[in-house]
């Protein structure tokens, strides 16, 4: 069985970063999910107990998102409580695997229940994400891993402390891709707003034309 190196960035600033070794299964599906499965167990063992305040905050957040996306939906309180205590891992794409990056990507794995556990802010992992153009508050320990993924094949690559997470190439590429994505979103929003504005102006012009024709007809009849 082959192995890959990934990097632990502890939330505790006094704790050093560590290079860890992952055993990589030969099966593709197991390979894709092996690190997530490993880290789910890690967070269950080390991340601490859920706090009631944290659980309430997460449940309120889920309700708010549900209200925005499905206003008529009625959330099940029992299911929400179980969700707040379930262990999942969130994956942040620090460097998306795209054609521009040669399909090499860097992912950050974090405890998805950091809010429920009232986990401390991970200043180092948060700073790395910010420098790479994907600002996010990382709560609890974070793990950086490197992959090659062209949507057909998938390989795990080593990610070490030897300049990988702070390499200028990674930072520049991440920022470039982030700016491109932001530009595309801005253009889409701009086009949508322009289209809406054009439709509104067209509607107003139609109403004005109808009013003008109506007034013209009234004046013509009065002159007769």
* Residue 168, pLDDT score: 47
For the chain, the residue count is 224
- The model's pTM is 0.65
Could you read off the pLDDT tens digit of each residue along the chain, which spans 224 residues?
799 999 999 999 999 999 999 999 999 999 999 999 999 999 988 876 666 766 677 677 777 777 778 777 777 777 766 666 677 899 999 888 888 888 999 999 999 888 888 899 999 999 888 887 788 899 999 999 999 999 889 999 999 887 554 444 555 554 455 445 445 555 565 566 666 656 665 666 565 556 555 655 555 555 55
Q: Which residues contact 45 (CB under 8 A, 6 or more apart)?
A: none
């Amino acid at each position: 069985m082959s192995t890959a190196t990934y990097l632990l960035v502890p939330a505790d600033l006094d704790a050093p970063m560590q290079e860890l070794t992952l055993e990589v299964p030969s099966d593709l599906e197991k390979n894709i999910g092996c690190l997530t499965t490993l880290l789910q167990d890690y967070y269950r063992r080390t991340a601490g107990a859920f706090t009631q305040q944290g659980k309430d905050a997460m449940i309120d957040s889920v309700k708010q998102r549900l209200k925005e996306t499905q206003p008529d939906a009625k959330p099940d309180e029992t299911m929400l409580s179980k969700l707040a205590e379930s262990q999942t891992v969130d994956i942040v794409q620090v460097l998306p695997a795209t054609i521009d990056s040669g399909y090499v990507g860097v992912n950050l794995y974090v405890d998805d229940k950091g809010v429920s556990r009232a986990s401390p802010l991970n200043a180092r992992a948060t700073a790395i994400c910010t420098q790479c153009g994907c600002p996010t508050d990382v709560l609890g320990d974070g793990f950086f891993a490197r992959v090659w993924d062209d949507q057909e094949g998938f390989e795990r690559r080593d990610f070490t402390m030897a300049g990988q997470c702070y390499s200028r190439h990674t930072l520049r590429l991440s920022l470039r891709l982030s700016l491109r994505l932001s530009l595309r979103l801005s253009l889409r929003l701009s086009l949508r707003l322009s289209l809406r504005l054009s439709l509104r102006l067209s509607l107003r012009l139609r109403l004005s034309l109808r009013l003008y024709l109506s007034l013209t007809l009234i004046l013509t009849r009065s002159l007769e």
